[in-house]
């Protein structure tokens, strides 16, 4: 089980003042949702947590060890990221793409084994894209490509799953299936940390919420404490109507 913590972390957004340092503890079993308006820094935070961008200040610890002191290969065995956008310049099938998730587990030039292949195929099956395994990814629809990206993360099998708007391009049924899958991963003591734009998906599936404000303010905590209509209205500059359905808050624009 792996725990990712941030100590006095300030992400580096050009021209943005450093306001609230983030002291987050992303624990096994938790599902985090990061909410905030466009340009607030959700992707920058995710890339910083993944070690792809330097923070302005503060540090990241993986099980108490500073991220920079851990071999990159070890980091990628323990933590993986689904990007918001991807480039498919290199022609590869859905199966070959999913198999990239095994790279952190292989030595240089080592071929994938039958077991690696089975892991990738199980992930494609779980994301309902196994029937597309021999298709070139640049021929897939947006939702199909998104599911292959999540299947690649599942193939990587890290303990910390970072996802940038994982429900982008997905229809309602696949949004629900993906959120259920993420909760199942958390139930297996993995940690899930994702950026979302859909308040209702966050309310239904996340147990921890981080709100990022354009002026650099931030607050975080259990979803039931954070998903308060007035706080969300000020976050998004949008009046909201809310109700409770099946034990979960639901928000619609007012």
Ligand X SMILES: Nc1ncnc2c1ncn2[C@@H]1O[C@H](COP(=O)(O)OP(=O)(O)OP(=O)(O)O)[C@@H](O)[C@H]1O
Q: What does the binding site for ligand X look like in residue numbers (CB under 6 A)?
A: 13-14, 36, 38-44
In the complex, minimum distance from the CB of residue 34 to ligand X, in angstroms, rounded to a whole number = 8
In the complex, minimum distance from the CB of residue 55 to ligand X, in angstroms, rounded to a whole number = 13
| 8 A C-beta contact, residue 226 and residue 233 | no
| Residue whose CB is less far from ligand X, 95 or 212 | 212
| Residue whose CB is less far from ligand X, 44 or 157 | 44
- Return phi, psi of residue 165, to 5°: 50, 65
| Residue whose CB is less far from ligand X, 36 or 104 | 36
Residue 110: strand, helix, or coil: coil
Long-range pairs of 20-26 with CB within 8 A, sequence gap ≥ 24: 20/216, 20/217, 20/218, 20/219, 21/57, 21/58, 22/58, 22/210, 22/218, 22/220, 24/210, 24/220, 26/160, 26/191, 26/193
In the complex, minimum distance from the CB of residue 212 to ligand X, in angstroms, rounded to a whole number = 7
In the complex, minimum distance from the CB of residue 39 to ligand X, in angstroms, rounded to a whole number = 4
Dist CA 186 CA 176 (whole Å): 15
In the complex, minimum distance from the CB of residue 163 to ligand X, in angstroms, rounded to a whole number = 12
Quote the tokens at residue 112. Answer: 């994938």
In the complex, minimum distance from the CB of residue 253 to ligand X, in angstroms, rounded to a whole number = 17
Dist CA 128 CA 26 (whole Å): 28
| Residue whose CB is less far from ligand X, 13 or 177 | 13
In the complex, minimum distance from the CB of residue 13 to ligand X, in angstroms, rounded to a whole number = 4
| 8 A C-beta contact, residue 98 and residue 140 | no
- 114-126 and 142-156 helices, crossing angle to 10°: 140
| Residue whose CB is less far from ligand X, 56 or 103 | 56
Q: Which residues contact 126 (CB under 8 A, 6 or more apart)?
A: 151, 154, 181
List % helix, strand, coil for the chain (3-state, nearest 5).
Answer: 40, 25, 35
| Residue whose CB is less far from ligand X, 14 or 253 | 14
Dist CA 125 CA 80 (whole Å): 19
| Residue whose CB is less far from ligand X, 70 or 170 | 170
- 142-156 and 172-187 helices, crossing angle to 10°: 10
């Amino acid at each position: 089980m792996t725990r990712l913590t941030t100590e006095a972390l300030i992400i580096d957004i050009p021209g943005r003042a450093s306001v609230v340092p983030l002291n987050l503890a992303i624990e096994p079993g938790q599902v985090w949702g990061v909410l905030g308006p466009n340009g607030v820094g959700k992707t920058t935070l995710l890339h910083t947590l993944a070690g792809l961008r330097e923070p302005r200040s503060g540090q990241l610890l993986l099980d108490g060890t500073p991220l920079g002191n851990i071999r990159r290969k070890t980091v990628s065995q323990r933590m993986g990221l689904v990007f918001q956008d991807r480039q498919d310049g290199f022609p590869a099938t859905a199966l070959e793409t999913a198999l990239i998730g095994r790279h952190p587990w292989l030595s240089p030039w080592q071929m994938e084994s039958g077991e690696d292949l089975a892991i990738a195929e199980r992930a494609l099956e779980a994301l309902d894209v196994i029937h597309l395994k021999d298709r070139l990814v640049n021929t897939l629809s947006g939702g199909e490509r998104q599911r292959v990206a999540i299947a690649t993360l599942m193939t990587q099998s890290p303990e910390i799953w970072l996802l940038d708007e994982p429900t982008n391009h997905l229809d309602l049924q696949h949004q629900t299936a993906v959120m259920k899958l993420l909760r199942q991963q958390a139930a297996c003591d993995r940690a899930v940390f994702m950026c979302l734009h859909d308040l209702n998906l966050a309310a239904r599936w996340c147990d921890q919420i981080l709100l990022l404000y354009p002026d650099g303010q931030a607050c975080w905590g259990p979803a039931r404490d954070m998903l308060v209509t007035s706080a969300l209205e000020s976050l998004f500059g949008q009046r909201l109507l809310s109700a409770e359905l099946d034990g979960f808050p639901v928000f619609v624009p007012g």
